[in-house]
Structure 1
Amino acid sequence: MYRSVLEGTRIGTWQWNVQTGDTVLNERWADIMGYTLAELEPVSVDTWLNLLHPDDVADSDAQLEAHLNGKAPFYDIKCRMKHKQGHYVWVHDRGKVVSYTADGQPLMMFGTHADITQQQLSEIALLHSRDELYKLTQQLPGVVYQYQSWPDGRSAFPYASTAIEEIYGVTPEEVRHDATNAFAKIHPDDLGLLVDSIERSLETLNLWELEYRIIANNDSFKWLSGRATPERMPDGSTLWHGYIQDITQTKEHYLKLEELNQQLNVAQQSLDLASEQAQIGYWQASLKQGTLWWSPMIYQIFGLNEQDFSPSVSLFKRAVHPDDVSKVEQSEDQARITGIHNVIHRIIRPNGEVRWVHELGQLVSEDKNPELIMIGSVQDITDRMKLQKIKDDFISTVSHELRTPLTSINGALTLLQSGKIVSLPEKAQKLMDIASSNCLQLSRLINDLLDIEKLAAGKMLFEMKPLNVPPLLQRALNDHQPYADLHNIILELQYASQINDMRIYVDEHRLLQILTNFLSNAVKFSPQNGQVTLSASVIGDQIEIAVQDQGCGISDDFKSRIFEKFSQADASSSKVKGGTGLGLALCKELTEAMHGKIGFNSNLEQGARFYVRFALTN
């Protein structure tokens, strides 16, 4: 029976006389090392020692010594033995002293010799895999873990990477058999949520996922994100395999972003409300791609249903009043140069209603904006234009009604001043001079009002033709020389010789009207013995005509209103210098009507420089 057991289990056997060293081996013992028993003859204890791996000799001696001295019940060792072919095989040797000499010394020792090469290699591979897994988990920012829950309420973390200490503040050993220490770290407000989520995953065996907080050692809290897959175990427990990571920084950024989004939504709602009340819509357009985006308010302004139409350049063009298309296109072309799109025009709604809108946009320079993106606004100003029309009609009516009696008054005053009818005392003559001066001032105001009214109504006629610039400049200077002499101001004319052969396409009378306004303002606001310079220069394909004074300049808070009607920088100054506040507004209207551009440069105490620019022509 014993022989059958040995043959069935393929176990080698050995007998060793401890006192004499005689050794008996069976055939299987030799076969494990690739030998026959005959090849190993003569057999002795040295047969064992010669085949034992040198690195395992010390361990074998220690195990044998412990058993022989009674410190270990068996001699038990796993070691390597050299195979006949040169490689090593793993064997498991177990033995026991079975008899002793009369004086109590170990005599006979019997044992077994089993081939465990495959088992040992598998264990080594497993240990190697565990080592690799350990190294990998140490590189992860979170904890790789197994969490187990039993029906009796017990729970533990059978496995957790060392990162659990960084995240939960507990070591893997502290929670290997009891998870209480880990649960004690959960934020009280999130503990119930965590327990419920685990219960749902346990019941359904669905993926467990949750973001929750734990209390750190400094009483602050961390945000964690957990994810694990459950598995039912044979003992009725449930084992989750998962990963938990610290997401505090990401969560804080997310919460901050959520707060900002909420603020943005409030701001957007406020903007939409303000947009609706002010009848202002917003848009963004790519001048290169031809794409267009509208805010919802623009659909209302244009009388369109947002569900039925998508914004496009062609849709916008179809809505523009036919008489205003060229004006809009001119402003768009100008925006490519100046970066500013500013135009007031009419649109026609699908129901035929005509509305007035004010478009204002800005284009970022092309080097920073390759798609030529322009952003801007559209405001419905129909009511404002109606009021403006009523005001203009009233001013026009009043101006016309005043013009006839004012002409008669001026004629009468001129006759009285001439002395041909009657000689007036000196005091009365001064009063007549004051009356005449005020009459002329009122006459200029009425003329300016009527000119502006004609421009707004499109009724002013222009005699546009190509003109040489130098004769115009000289005429304007000559016309103002007496006025300059009266104020002790020096007038100077400057231009490059190349301008002699250049021409611009303008109305001569209206251009002189503009220069007259520039020069009179410059003389009025220049100090005694100051100098006013009228100049012309070439800028690209345009000629710039400018008037520079040496006055006090224009304050920053007035610069944005300088071309508005009835706009004056200082009311007290206007009383001293004289003026209606219409001159520059009229100059702007005249310049733009002749397809030119008007502008100014000024610094306080350094004077002001007003200019107009017109394209060169043949």
Structure 2
Amino acid sequence: MPADAALPDPAQLLALAQSALLTQLDRDDPAHAVAQLLADLALASGRRAWVDDNPCTAPAHADGSTLHLPLQRLGAAVGRLCLAPAADLPAVPAAQALAPVTDALAALRLRSRASQPAPDQAGSASGGALVRAALRGAGTFVWEWHIPSDRLGDIDEGFQQLGYPQAPARRTQQDWDGLIHPDDRAANHEAYLRHARGETEHYAHIYRARAADGSWHWLQERGRIVDWTPDGQPLRMVGVQADITTQRQAEAAASAATQRLGKIAAHVPGALFQFQRDDDGFGRFPYISERSLALFGVAPAELAADAARLLRRVEAAQRAVVMASIDASGVSLTPWVQEFQVHRTDGALRWIRGSASPQREPDGRVLWHGYFEDLTEWHALARADHRQRVAEAANLAKNEFLSRMSHELRTPLNAVLGFAQLMGLDPQAPLAPDQQRWLALIRQSGEHLLAMIDDLLDLTSIEAGRLPLAPQALDLRPLADDALAMVEAAAARHDLALACEGSGVLAWADRTRLRQVLINLLSNAVKYNRPGGRVLVRLLAADGEAQLQVHDTGPGLTADECAQLFEPFNRLGQAQGPVEGTGIGLTVTHHLVRLMGGRIAVQSTPGVGSCFSVTLPLPAAQGLQGTSLP
């Protein structure tokens, strides 16, 4: 046991005192009993223990490390008990804890100083009275058992301890066994038999006995066979007994409190703990909940035995910072809060946040009460949130760049198209046929680039949330007829038939943007159609919604192609095909329909054709049934 360990528990201290007093009763050699008690105390506490004759009136430290405790008996000072090193032991609490030992030492030293009795009076009142007085002061009494007759001597105090007014007339061990709890009798007798067989040096046992009021008291007994018959049978046994009910109740209460804390801690996501730094700088966990296994991969018992097991799992680069933060909290007694990474036994690296409140204990050491929690998911969310903010900032910068560049490109491009048109119309400088063809290519490419710029502007405005809408009640038939007229010339070049079915269908939408949607769908239906095919616009109203369908007889699309249809700049492998396109139009169309509170869908069969459906709310759904059409 290290030198700075705490004192043994009360039960162990009481057992040491009882053992020394039994030795005195057996050998009537107080000096030997004192030497034995001091040796046992030194071994159990890990400290040097001795007595001297110097008077000591109160518990006190000397030279900063030695603790002096007074030895007094029957009003006489008989020296002092010295313990070293003991700087960590508060004087008064240590004196209270060691009371059974100091009482026994005082009685034994007083007996040693008394005049020696005549040989025929050995063990008479002079020695026995002092020993019994010491035991009574420690809440203990002496008994003697004549084994062949089963007669118990000095048992009256035992019955009084249990509240009985007097002992039975016979005073036998059988009478006493009648008070022992039925569940404890066999074990108690077996403890005696082990001693009688020579298997144990002492008889020692703890059992329950019924008190006069019907309650059960916990009794601690120790004894030794001191005389044997000539044929080697046990003849006489002496022992001591103490009532430890209060101690057992305190232990049970502490155990129940620990169990309640354990049940509570089991439902807490983190680990509750107590941490203490010893004088040598090493730490220990007097308590840590079962959640330590989930957090660190280390069981509570392992951390209680060696707190450094946790420190060794902390990320190497962070250990010095963690230790420094604990040191600072212990010096200033300010709350400890620290985040660090821990390598679990399964190889996972987890972020842990520890927080604790320190308090100074009576022995001068610092005890922290705290909580460990797993912040790994929180850190992951924080990183994801940071990445999202970076992506949003990059997207905003991209949109801003595209918007500015589109505006900047429109001016020179309009100039190019304007001058190309003037060149083709200039009667004073007519162009040759080849030049007219080249100029047509310039105008065609410029118009294609201008359409791409317009789509880019719309897309960046939509993504930036800067596209204004003015929804109103619209009759879809005039809008469809107008859009069909816009693509009539292109349809004629491909020998396509145009048609529109349905009338009187109203929708709640922005006129300009819905017209743009319809023209875009019709342009695609014309461009991606077969010669001699057909384009049909169908207007429907069903289930409280308006629907605008565009059917074509083109090559159709596969399911995979339909799934990618509205992705920007994705032309589904047609980038090198004969039909010009930007890969943005359908993306813009999709966004516009959603901004107007609608939805767009496509149904397609390869080799047969496709149908694009735009579904929009009715004016009635907006509470505008009485709104007149423009």
TM-score (norm: length of structure 2): 0.45
Structure with greater Cα Rg? 1
TM-score (norm: length of structure 1): 0.46
